[in-house]
Amino acid sequence: MDNIILGNRYQLQDLIGVGGMAKVYKATDRLLQRDVAIKILKDQYAEDDEFVKKFSNEALSAARLTHVNIVSVYDIGEDMIEGKKIHYIVMEYVDGETLKDLIDREKIISNHDIVDYSIQIAQALNQAHSSNIIHRDIKPQNILMDKYGLLKVTDFGIARVSTNATITYTSSILGTVHYISPEQAKGKFVDEKSDLYSLGVVMYEMATGKVPFDADNSVGIAVMHIQDEPESPIKLNENLSPRLNDIIMKLLEKDPQKRFKNANELIRALEDNSYDIGVIKKEDTAKIEKPKEITETTFIPVVENKKKKDEEKEKKKN
């Protein structure tokens, strides 16, 4: 791929990800001399003019989002490579790993980090929702983490275009269906509360190392989202804060009206209860011994102390 240059500007390097509808490459922006990530539509989508039009429109909407916890969209374009039309999106390159990679490695994330990561994701959602953009595909694979622990949510706006086509063309829905809301599973209207449900699933997975619902096929998992109650995560992780357990279960309510009203309300709940949740545990503070009370202390002035030493030296001479 080193020899392929898109738009006479972006030189492709390594393949760094493959999704249901696109491949993602690390590339070099030769004009600005910086690394970027380029999402290239797979052939079956690139040939669908209606899909490409929606894809471009949604990418333009996502490009308006500017937030530290959102992967920036820099450019969109098309090119001809070896007789094939290539449609692509140029995005911010994040040098790190996905949240899914972290969960797979660590299995269970600490209370403190669950709160930290959840607040960052919720801040990204809050920014998008305020611009009337619903993500529709919040999952650990779409959350990137740099080496400093900064999270960035990617693929805003793209999920709305890809949902139906992804189910039709690929089996990647099996990976996504673990995180969809009940209303998505029913094919009903979705709003910001649907993204909050998906974030609840992500938080559940961070807390337990597993998703709340699993089955042999996507239909079975979707039905479980609609009908089944998730096992309380604290039963799978006894070290999970009870308050954090309650927040996760509220996010996973079947009825959207019983969830948090919006991402900002979730952020406040996490921040207001950070003392209980894991930033500082009350039981930990009880273990810290208080310093002993200082009773009466006699201070000897430095000048007086020096005077006494000089007198002692004089006596020795005599």
The Cα–Cα gap between 275 and 29 comes to 44
Residue type, 35: D
Is 43 an annotated catalytic residue? no
Cα dist from 37 to 9, 93, 126, 148, whole Å: 13, 5, 24, 19
Q: Is 39 annotated as a binding residue?
A: yes
Residue ranges of the alpha helices (H) in the chain? Answer: 43-46, 49-63, 99-106, 111-130, 158-169, 173-176, 182-185, 192-208, 218-227, 242-251, 263-272, 274-277, 282-286, 302-317
What are the backbone dihedrals phi and psi of residue 196, each rounded to the nearest 5 degrees, phi first?
-65, -35
Cα 26 from chain centroid?
20
Which one of 29, 137, 155, 195 is the catalytic residue? 137
- Catalytic sites, residue numbers: 137
| Residue ranges at the known binding site for ATP | 39
Point out the annotated binding site. Answer: 39
